[in-house]
Structure 1
Amino acid sequence: MQPRQYTSFRLAEHLDAAGIAASIGSVGDAYDNALMESTIGLFKTELIKPQRPWKTLSQVELATAEWADWYCHRRLHGETGHVPPVEYETNYYTELTKPQVTTTI
């Protein structure tokens, strides 16, 4: 698929009809890719490069699953109060769905 196809009106209409919010930046920028590129960079630096040479695809698949589990469930992140991402997200949505108490004076 060519880049212009991702930004086509037809694709946007199709996504909208399906209730999907597109994550498409303007033509020529890479801001939408920054998060993924950062994550892939960490993955390669923390897992792939230090443990090479990999002997089998199964080794890479298992190590990738373990790394992804750690990254999402046990990794402590300073920007989230040193709690794992899944815990932070759970807390966020718990707070978001609590009934709001208002008082009138």
Structure 2
Amino acid sequence: SLNRYHYLSYGYDVDTYVHIQSSYIFLASKEGVNVAVFPKGGGKVSGFAWDGADSQLSEKVFLVDEHIGEGHVILFADDPNFRGYWRGMSKLFLNAVMLSPSLRR
């Protein structure tokens, strides 16, 4: 699910699906903003996953905006533009590249 009050999710009316190729999983940030979080139960829609992998994703984070000093670091758990295949995540990436530098903290 997307945090629709955060600028990274600007342009999304509904939640989007993410393409996962790696084994990276983020725990919820305590100081930053958890922008995209997997639903309870994992929410795998299609594809292959090892036994128990879906439950490992349950309520974990795909996209985090971490505040570091005067700036911030945007963390994606996987490549949002992998082979240009999954277009649903292109806005998340473009918002990170285009909107982040223009925001005052």
Query: TM-score if structure 1 supplies the norm length?
Result: 0.25
Structure number having the greater strand percentage: 2
Structure number having the greater helix percentage: 1
Structure whose alpha-carbon radius of gyration is higher: 1
